Every structure is written in structure tokens, then in C-alpha cells.
Amino acid sequence: MRVYLIIDLLPPRVCRRPKVTTVVMVEQLESHGKHHLTTFISLPRELRQQILFYTFYDAHLADLNHNYEIGQSPVLETPNMSTWAHDLASTHPVISVDVQFVADKWNIITINGWKEFCHTKMVQSVMEACERVTKMFRLQDEEDERAYLSWECAVEAGTEEVSTGLDGWIAFVNGE
């Protein structure tokens, strides 16, 4: 066990004497010995929770997609996050409290991010629909241009009589 002196210095604009605090800290190597490796369980709780927090990301996205597919409702379902939390909590009793804390944080993020997620998905679907309509118009324009050019060639060759109006166009398209 080692004793460390920690001196708390405030910024220079504050005129106060430095405060000396004595803190007793146990080094991790001494408690584990030289031959023991650090395990996930032996990590500080904050680190364990941060690592567990990152493991929920895929389940979070899957739940957002699941809720978006079933339609917007006032209650958000989180089946993937619940399953993931249950699986993690059942691995070891020490981390079950950490898992519950992290799952609660993710539920808050899910609720807060739901409107933004729906807006993003809606914008994406509108953009995709606009692209599909634009493509349909472009294909229709190309088809109309080809039909007009073939009609124009037929008129120039004298195989088709020139008529104005819709009746002539329909007759040409129908091959009459």
C-alpha cells in the first residue's frame, strides 16, 4: 500500500493557499500479484459500464428499425435490447447491476432519439420515392422520344401519313 500526497492547485486568478490532501491508494498489481491478469470483472465499475454501453449499439439500431417498421406508436418496443440485457446479466452476478444501469441509459437514448430517427427515415424514404419518380419520368421521356423519332422516320419515308392530333398518334402506336 502506498500513500500519495495530492496537491490541489486552483487557477492563478484565485488567491488561496494550495490544499494538501492525503489519499491512500492501493496499486492494482499489489492486490492481484504479479501473475494474475486483469479480468473484466476486476475492472472498475465505470469502465465495465462504458464497455457494456458500447455493446448495446447494434441492439439499439435493430429496435429502432423494428419500431419504424411496425409504425409509430406512443410505446417503443425494445425486444433486442431486452434480450441482450438479459443475456449479459445472466453471464455473471457482478455485472448484472451494471447491465441494468446501462440498459436504462440506452432506453433513455432510444426514447430521445426516436423522433430524430423517424425524421431521418422519412426523409430517406421521400428522397428514394423522388428518385423513383424521376427515373420513371426519364424512362417515359426516352420512350416518347424513340416513338416520335420512329414516327418521324416513317413520315419521311412516306410509309405513314402525317396527321395532327391524338388520333394519328394512337393509330401509329397501335400499328394501324
Q: What whole-number distance in Å separates Cα of residue 167 and Cα of residue 150?
A: 17
Which helix (H) or strand (E) is 9 found in, with range?
none
Q: What whole-number distance in Å separates Cα of residue 80 and Cα of residue 59?
A: 5
Is the pLDDT confidence value at 148 over 70? Answer: yes
C-alpha cell at 164: 395532327
Mean pLDDT over 43-49 rounds to: 88
User: Which of 8-12, 34-38, 102-106, 120-124 is the least confident region?
Assistant: 8-12
pLDDT digits (tens, 9 = 90+) for 53-98: 888 888 877 877 777 666 666 566 778 888 888 888 888 888 888 8
pLDDT confidence bin for 8, thresholds 50/70/90: very low
Q: What whole-number distance in Å separates Cα of residue 82 and Cα of residue 33?
A: 38
Q: Which residue shows C-alpha cell 435493430? A: 62
Which helix (H) or strand (E) is 20 found in, with range?
strand 19-25
Q: Which residue shows C-alpha cell 418521324? A: 152
* Three-state secondary structure call for residue 39: coil
Q: What whole-number distance in Å separates Cα of residue 60 and Cα of residue 82?
A: 10
Q: What's the pTM?
A: 0.39
Mean pLDDT over 37-43 rounds to: 85
- Exposure letters 46-78 (e unless 16+ CB within 10 A, then b): eebbeebbeebeebbebbbeebbeeeeeeeeeb
C-alpha cell at 174: 397501335
Q: Which amino acid is at 175?
A: G
Burial class (CB in 10 A: 0-12, 13-18, 19+), 168: middle
Q: What stretches of the chain show up as alpha helix (H) in DSSP?
A: 28-32, 45-55, 57-70, 79-89, 93-157, 166-174
